[in-house]
Structure 1
């Protein structure tokens, strides 16, 4: 969720996004092709978070509802699912920010995870005045499509818990990952990246919060593991040379590190300042979910607050590093570029 710049810079970016697009440029709903990008064409969606349950992949997304020159207007989270990466079922809203009584706005980036026979949903919101700043909420459900309810009745993480941070919106974009030993980790952040263990009850932090900020980290971390290697993939921004976020990643022998920077995985998203990675293995293939701002719906063009979720094939080299990903309109409607190095 791209909030790592000043309000003035945000306004300038939004103005550029609004004035540089026309309906002729954006990818419209009438151009749908199974597996092509963007995946969802009747709503603006962002911050994709995949979860595989059996033979179905569920995709949790934020709902961009910005009108005209608004930057962000996000009030609920949606979920879609697929069995073939081509056809998607819309399960509708699963939760609204208003369902967290202590939160006042901003249904920002989220991720869901299955554990202990339940589904746990972690999301960034704006806390009310009792704990000013961004916070991370946790909800729970018996099914991946909800209904989800507030699992704690209060925030899992507040801005007061990360006092060394540089700004009040650093506690956003949670990613959750359960290791082979059953330990669940949560990482999050904007400009600073933090990681901590979760208690078995999934609603409390277990032990210290550690900063693991890799080079050019901006936001949107995503944790996953392949073989013995742990991956931290994230939205990156080299402020000295770039205006738009890209995706970079680091690897480590354990969630606690040490993390080794591996460079950029993708370029920036089409017409979009923000980008947000989500990674999943599904039926023997790996996928990288992202968002851009290349969708037009009616008279609304893509913009900083009107984004569109995409997906690309993800492949690995023999040494475990990830092959650079080129973002395309074809997406997974076509086979991966090469079978070399695939798992």
Structure 2
């Protein structure tokens, strides 16, 4: 953790250094799935799937780090598929500047549907001239999964001052869940894992911010439910095992716990210090989306800050626990 904190301390300066932008996909261009990585003409990270009817939408950050930069994530892109084979690119759905109080950094996000509206929770860098400094959680809203999204409250839902984390980027990586009774919850964090109940308006909290105690928690939580069991997957770190993040998970009988650690889901991403889970059931099958650092695009070598989304099937044993996932180049091939 200490090495990670030291490395990230220079993040703001690196991001401000700028880099030549790699063009994103043209709207409505298509990809045929050929194995991992999923999209091979640009760098994508922090995948967040959303299923709406017969379509799976995938939201990602657009990695554009230049040599010497750790991260430079400039916008959020959207893709969609109806069969996991043919994917359509829809271009950028938002940029950090769309939050008038933010300065940069399109970090990990999740889009959540509730009552026919689409709520976009994400992490950005707060503009220090507007009352806070460090990472913050914003929320945007749209009437369509592809937008247009607009800032839903005109200020951060969570600021660095709202939580007791050890650094100013502990408020990142939001994931959201809505119960059958309509109650919604937000979970997020780096170093500390936070949870709070959302108010019915989805842009404020209806209760205190609490912490979930998870072994080796680093960042990137993802909440989902299967049957009567809740699952919380997250990027974990144990330097006695690996200097890189892995994906671990815990289960609980309720969104409020108690959470039982179930161990490692998959190991470190290839050629990337970070890894980020996004999990969804689609057309009867479960999928784990994550990112790796193996894709070269032109003269941009893959790695941290130039990652690429991949996908594997997710299966469960007779007790509802997740079977370990092997990261492969073939991914979910063959497809029908």
Give the TM-score of the pair, scaled to structure 1.
Answer: 0.88
Q: Which runs of 4+ in 1 moved over 6 A?
A: none
RMSD across aligned C-alpha pairs, in angstroms? Answer: 1.8
1:4 and 1:191 in contact (8 A); partners too: no
Which has the higher relative contact order, 1 or 2, with Cα contacts under 8 A spaced 6 or more apart? 1
- Following the alignment from structure 1 to structure 2, what is the Cα–Cα distance between the partners of residues 141 and 232? 26
Looking at structure 2, the residues matched to 232 and 119 of structure 1 have their Cα atoms a distance apart, in angstroms, of 22
Alpha-carbon deviation of 1:141?
0.7
- Residue in 2 that maps onto 1:156: 157
8 Å Cα contact 1:4-1:190 kept in structure 2? no
Residues 241 and 331 (structure 1), Cα distance of their counterparts in 2 relative to 1, 3 Å cut: closer
The unaligned stretches of length 5 or more in structure 2 are: 11-30
Summarize deviations over 1:240-263 as a string: whole Å, max 9, x none: 442110000000011111100000
User: Whole-Å Cα distance in 2 between the matches of residues 242 and 97 of structure 1?
Assistant: 33
Q: Which runs of 5+ in 1 are unaligned?
A: 12-31, 337-343
Q: Which residue of 2 aligns with 1:118?
A: 117
Counterpart position of 2:182: 182
Q: Could you tell me how far apart the structure 1 residues matched to 2:215 and 2:304 are?
A: 24
Deviation for aligned residue 1:167: 1.1
Q: Determine the structure 2 residue equivalent to 1:214.
A: 214
Whole-angstrom distance in 2 between the partners of 1:88 and 1:4:
38
Cα distance in structure 1, aligned partners of 2:127 and 2:9 = 23
Per-residue deviation, 1:3? 11
Partner of residue 170, structure 2: 170
Change (3 A) 1:4 1:93: farther
Shift of 1:70: 1.4
Q: Counterparts of 1:283 and 1:3 in 2: how far apart (Å)?
A: 42
TM-score, normalised relative to structure 2? 0.90
Structure 2 counterpart of 1:323 = 323
In structure 1, the residue matched to 2:4 is 5
- Tell me the residue number matched to 1:309: 309
1:116-160 CA-partner distances (Å, limit 9, x unpaired): 221000000111111111100000111101111100100011111
Report 1:124-135 matches (<5 A).
Answer: 124-129=123-128, 130-135=131-136
Evaluate the alpha carbon distance shift between residue 100 and residue 10 of structure 1 in structure 2; reply closer, same or farther with a 3 A threshold.
closer
The answer as to whether partners of 1:136 and 1:171 remain within 8 angstroms in 2 is yes
* 1-structure distance, mates of 2:119, 2:204: 12
Question: How many residues were matched structurally?
Answer: 314
